[in-house]
Amino acid sequence: MNPKQLHLKVEKANMASFLSSLFIFSFFSFGTSLSSNYYQKTCPAAESIVRKAVIDATKRDKTAPAGLLRMHFHDCFIRRCDGSVLLDSKGNNIAEKDGPPNVSLHAFYVIDNAKRAIESVCPGVVSCANILALAARDAIVVSGGPSWDVPKGRKDGRISKASETIQLPAPTFNISQLQQSFSQRGLSLEDLAALSGGHTLGFSHCSSFNNRIYNFNSTTDIDPSLNPSFAASLRRVCPAKNNAKNAGVAMDPSSSTFDNTYYKQILQNKVIFSSDNALINSPKTRSLVSKFASSKDVFSKAFVKSMIKMSSITGGQEIRKDCRVVN
């Protein structure tokens, strides 16, 4: 290949990358107009029904809130917040929930229970996407976090493809990859730092962080950015061989409570994912991490602002009768 041909090839590759990013950005930049009192006349009981479903589930399963919050994130990052993550695979179509990053999602039954209860009093009115957005808010509240008015009016999508879950930010992402993923959805570095705080809730399987504690690179076995004693504790839970199928660790020491411990762990190099640690590799996000570590109130206010912004990335065309299947 001569220099001119090489130059043209590089230009085409750069243009393809640019157009791909432009498409994703435009796809996520426009949506339905939302309102806090959207169901005030048509289904005033909707929010209390969802709240009860979340509270009842949490009494039986302390991991339900983390599952609901993660489910909402994963829904919004693929085809906007349209409930596409709730659809079951059917025939030859493998749905989002069965894509590799989503196979560990759980608590779908909470949405099903809320939807059935709402349909019994307000049939055909409340979308599954709105139920999921409300449930994510209530998951934070039952975990000791802040509450807020959730803008409503989302419609449910009709398309769900496992192949599209590759768009989700991975636990191995560096700060540049994270910034690109969030900016394509109209979200800023401030949103990245605040929404990452959702990792204060929940559990991670060993497979999501084994890359940091075994064969990190050609010269070292363990990620040198990990606190050595913390790395040793992770290796005890996740041995190189004979890993228990569901082995893993809590996301932070208070993993069922919504607080700012996650940010304190970042500053101590005691976070699980490479993507968590990446937040200290940018001056902007490092400054925010320090602020959030110093004040739960500052973090909570930033989290609420970013959650409203993220959950307002809307799409969809219908109001499903059953959250698992299109009408």
Residues classed as catalytic? 74
Per DSSP, what are the bridge partners of residue 205? 248
Helices (H), 30-107: 46-60, 64-79
Tokens linked to 245: 């199928």
| Cβ atoms of 231 and 216 closer than 8 Å | no
Which residues make Cβ contacts (< 8 Å) with residue 41, sequence separation at least 6?
none
CA atoms of 181 and 195, how far apart (whole Å): 13
Under DSSP, the state recorded for 269 is T
Residues in the chain: 327
Cα–Cα dist 250/256, whole Å: 9
Which backbone phi and psi does 45 adopt, to 5 degrees? -85, -5
| C-beta neighbour count of 13 within 10 angstroms | 10
Report the alpha-carbon distance of residue 117 to residue 115 in Å, rounded.
5
C-alpha distances out from residue 211 to 28, 49, 216, 228, 265, Å: 31, 42, 6, 15, 19
Distance of CA 217 to the CA centre of its chain: 28
Look up residue 184 and give its DSSP letter: T
The single residue listed with the structure tokens 């990452």 is 196
Distance CA 263, CA 268 (A): 9
Rg over CA atoms, the chain: 21
Compute the distance between CA of residue 99 and CA of residue 94 in angstroms, rounded to an integer: 8
Residues 228, 234, 240, 244: what is their CA dihedral angle, to the nearest 10 degrees?
A: 170
